[in-house]
Structure formats: C-alpha cells, structure tokens
C-alpha cells in the first residue's frame, strides 16, 4: 500500500467521522426554550459568580425555572432586570439606586502607617497577611498588594498614586469578587447614594490606633455626639454609620478630628423626619439641596 493510498484512507475516515459527529450533534442537541435563551442573552455574561451560581447560564436556568427572581444578578442593570422580568411575566421594582464596592481604609500613604518589616515575597495580600500578620503596623489596614484588583473582571479597580487600590464608581458592578478577595475584610458593598462613610476598619483603642496609623479612627465618639439622627455609633472602638438613618447632613464629618468620615456623592435619597418625633436638627441639608 502506497503512502498516497494511506492518505486517502485517512482522509475518508476523517470525513466520515466528521459527518457522523455533525449528524449526532444535530440529533442529540438539546433545544432550549426561547424564554431561557432570551434570559441568557440579557445577563451580562461575566460569569463572576456573585449570584451564587458558577456562571450566567446557571442563573438563567434558575430564573427560568422560577427558583430565582429576575433581579438576582447584582451586575445586571435596571433595564436588563426589567426586560428579564417582562420575559418571565413578573414584576420587579427598581429604584435606580445601584451598589458599589467601598474600601474602608484611609491609611494608604507610607507616611501614614508604620511598617513592621519590609515585605519581600509573593505579590499577594493573602500571602503577606500570613507572614507575621502582614507588613503594616495596623493589622486592619490595606496591604496594597492588589488581590482585589486582580479578581475584578470589570476593570473597576486600579492602583493609585500610593499604590493603593482605587475603585472606579462608573465601572463597578458590585459583584463582590473584591470583597471576597480581601483577607482583611476592608471592602464593603454600599448603595451609591449621597451619604457618608467611615474610611477605617481598626478596632484598636484610640491610643493604639494612633501608634499604628496617623489617620485612623480613634473612637473619640465626637461623631456620635454630633449626629442629630442617631445614625452614628461607636462600637468596638470604630464608628459605624447606619445608612437607613443617615440624612447626609455632614455633622459627623465636621466633628471628626481625624477626617476619617468621607462624603460619597451619589443619588439623593430624601428622608423626612416627622416633626413630632425628631423635629428640625438644624443640619442645614435642606438649604444645600
């Protein structure tokens, strides 16, 4: 048998197998319902897993089966959610208020936080945290080695001037991947509304915080005393702002001696207190709106 004949035989076998596979693919192909296909097309396709499913296809199937609501995907826009709901014959309410990730650490400059040692190793916050608790003298502070940046699938995180992670509010989809990646739990998903946030996570006492970080919360409670709406509380040596009570008056930020409370410029959410309950707090927010 010549080499040419062998080539011909192999070519015939190859074509036969290809034809068989093509026919088998058509015969055994599972045709998806039109509704399911449309839901899949409307989902972002990022396969980020923020919904709890391994990918958008899995979530689409769950929505189609009625196991999940049309707004289960945290990445989908209001318009996408409304279209998915319409396809499934359901109604969902969207307030136009989307969420973003927020980093609760202000000590990003080298001059703000003392170093316990010079870290030379794998460029990973998780790895650095395992090395004597990390190089930072503040055990609650950002290690700035980019684990959150690397997991972001939407290019919403990047390095700033001090090699600190910065979140682009316009690109952030609140998928939560960066939240899970941070070994120090510094990232929180918050509604993008006009409000104030505490840019610190330290639970050390004031004196200890001062030694570790120049710009950390020292639990002085001046913010708590300044708030007229009972929205600010100091718990475990760190100030917290109840976003359901906060009216974005800014009195807490003005009272903070460490400038730890940051203004978030987002959607205006109006809350009107009943006069018989709280009365006017003289915060001045009504004049600024």
Mean of pLDDT values over 2-9: 73
Give the side-chain half-sphere CA count within 13 A for 250: 12
Say which residue the tokens 């460490």 belong to. 258
What is the structure's pLDDT at 216? 95
Strand partners, 199: none
What is the structure's pLDDT at 27? 60
| Phi, psi angles (nearest 5°) of residue 167 | -100, 125
Percent pLDDT > 70 in the chain is 88
**Are the CB atoms for 126 and 143 separated by under 8 Å?**
no
| Phi, psi angles (nearest 5°) of residue 287 | -80, -30
What is the structure's pLDDT at 270? 64
Strand partners, 99: 191
Helix (H/G/I), strand (E/B), else coil: 10: helix
Percent pLDDT > 90 in the chain is 47
DSSP per residue, 112-148: TB-BSS---S-S-HHHHHTTTT-SBSSTTS---S-HH
Residue 29 reports pLDDT greater than 50: yes
Residue 64 reports pLDDT greater than 60: yes
Output the CA torsion sign for 190, 210, 158, 45. negative
What is the structure's pLDDT at 161? 92
**Are the CB atoms for 76 and 44 separated by under 8 Å?**
yes
What is the structure's pLDDT at 286? 62
What is the structure's pLDDT at 277? 45
When mean pLDDT is compared over 26-30, 68-72, 180-184, the highest value belongs to 180-184
Helix (H/G/I), strand (E/B), else coil: 253: helix
Residue 31 reports pLDDT greater than 80: no
Residue 281 reports pLDDT greater than 70: no
Residue 274 reports pLDDT greater than 50: no
What is the structure's pLDDT at 53? 87
Distances (CA, A) of 199 to 68, 107, 210: 34, 9, 15
The structural domains of the chain, ordered by start, are 34-87 (1.10.15.40), 97-190 (3.30.70.20), 193-271 (3.30.70.20)
Mean of pLDDT values over 86-113: 87
| Phi, psi angles (nearest 5°) of residue 175 | -70, -25
Helix axes 34-42, 78-87, angle to 10 degrees: 180
**Any idea what DSSP says for residue 193?**
B
Mean of pLDDT values over 82-97: 82
d(CA 219, CA 196): 17
Mean of pLDDT values over 29-34: 73
132 or 284: which leads in pLDDT: 132
10 or 87: which leads in pLDDT: 87
Helix (H/G/I), strand (E/B), else coil: 83: helix
Indicate whether this model's pTM tops 0.85. no
């Amino acid at each position: 048998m010549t080499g040419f004949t062998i080539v011909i035989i192999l070519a015939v076998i190859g074509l036969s197998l290809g034809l068989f596979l093509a026919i088998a693919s058509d015969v055994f192909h599972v045709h998806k319902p039109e509704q399911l296909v449309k839901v899949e097309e409307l989902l972002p396709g990022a396969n980020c897993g923020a919904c709890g499913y391994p990918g958008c296809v899995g979530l689409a199937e769950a929505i189609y089966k009625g196991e999940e609501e049309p707004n289960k995907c945290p990445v989908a826009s209001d318009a996408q959610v409304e279209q998915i709901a319409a396809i499934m014959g359901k109604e969902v309410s969207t307030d136009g208020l989307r969420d973003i990730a927020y980093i609760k650490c202000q000590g990003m400059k080298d001059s703000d936080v003392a170093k316990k040692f010079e870290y030379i190793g794998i460029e990973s916050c998780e790895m650095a945290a395992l090395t004597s608790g990390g190089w930072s003298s503040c055990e609650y502070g950002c290690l700035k080695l980019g684990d959150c940046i690397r997991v972001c699938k939407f290019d919403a995180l990047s390095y700033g001037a001090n090699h600190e992670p910065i979140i682009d509010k316009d690109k952030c989809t609140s998928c939560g991947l960066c939240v899970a990646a941070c070994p120090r739990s510094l990232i929180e998903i918050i509604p993008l509304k006009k409000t104030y946030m505490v840019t610190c996570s330290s639970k050390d006492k004031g004196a200890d915080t001062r030694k570790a970080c120049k710009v950390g919360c020292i639990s002085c409670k001046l913010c708590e005393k300044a708030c007229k709406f009972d929205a600010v509380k100091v718990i475990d040596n760190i100030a917290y702002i109840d976003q359901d009570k906060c009216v974005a008056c800014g009195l807490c930020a003005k009272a903070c001696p460490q400038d730890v409370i940051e203004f978030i410029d987002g959607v205006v959410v109006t809350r009107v207190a009943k006069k018989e309950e709280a009365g006017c707090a003289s915060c001045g927010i009504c004049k600024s709106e």
